[in-house]
Amino acid sequence: MNYWLMKTEPDVYSIEDLRRDGSTGWEGVRNYQARNFMRDEMATGDLVLVYHSNAKPPGVAGVGRIVREAHPDLSAQDPDSPYFDAKASPDNPRWLQVEVGYVETFDRMVSLDRLRSDQALSGMMVLRKGCRLSIQPVARRDFERVVKIGRGG
DNA sequence: GCCAACGTTGGC
DNA sequence: GCCAACGTTGGC
């Protein structure tokens, strides 16, 4: 079982939207490294830190779970979608998505500042300067520590 | 709104 | 295959 951090802009889709929906197709990932993580390493049951980017403040808002493994992201083939990609087709979907289920919203979101201030979390990819990757692997111990902080521990 | 740090594109 | 130009991300 693996652990992940997945970024979302809460103005577009927040942890509260995920709570309301129960689960959602995580469409719109348009980065090969992130896609390959989904394709090669994500499995049903993996747990996810749901990270709010472009938020005030940015940080981890809660937890999700992979409920369906990687499959074609059809928004790439939809000309009306903001995620449309003319190079995607039924023969070559090009982009993938996973289905993410809701698990919990933290009592207090774990802000980026809070993550930075914790020496034990200094290895987290999201803290690396200029790291734009929207799907990142997270070490189990880091995942558990962030959850503990989020629950008020 | 700024801009550093990337990733992608396309001419050569 | 190189690399300059361009577009995007995302914190601030």
From first to last of the 153 residues of chain A, give the pLDDT tens digit: 999 999 999 999 999 999 999 999 999 999 999 999 999 999 999 999 999 999 999 999 999 999 999 999 999 999 889 999 988 999 889 999 999 999 999 999 999 999 999 999 999 999 999 899 999 999 999 999 999 999 997
Burial class (CB in 10 A: 0-12, 13-18, 19+), A68: middle
pLDDT at position A153 is 72
Residue A132 CA and nucleotide C10 C1' are separated, in Å, by 7
Q: Which domain holds residue A122?
A: 3-150
Task: Indicate if CB(A132) is under 7 A from strand C.
Answer: yes
pLDDT at position A107 is 94
pLDDT at position A41 is 96
Residue A136 CA and nucleotide B9 C1' are separated, in Å, by 25
Residues with CB under 7 A from strand B: A 31-33, 87, 128-133
Residue A79 tokens, joined = 């000309």
Task: Indicate if CB(A134) is under 7 A from strand C.
Answer: yes
Q: Rounded to a whole number, what is the distance in angstroms from the first to the last CA of chain A? A: 24
Domain containing residue A116: CATH number: 3.10.590.10
- Which residues does residue A19 pair with via DSSP β-bridges, in sequence order? none
Count of structural domains, chain A = 1
Tell me which residue has tokens 């809070």. Answer: A114
Residue A130 CA and nucleotide B4 C1' are separated, in Å, by 8
Q: Rounded to an integer, what distance in angstroms lies between the CA atom of residue A148 and that of residue A153?
A: 5
Residue A143 CA and nucleotide B6 C1' are separated, in Å, by 26
Task: Indicate if CB(A7) is under 7 A from strand C.
Answer: yes
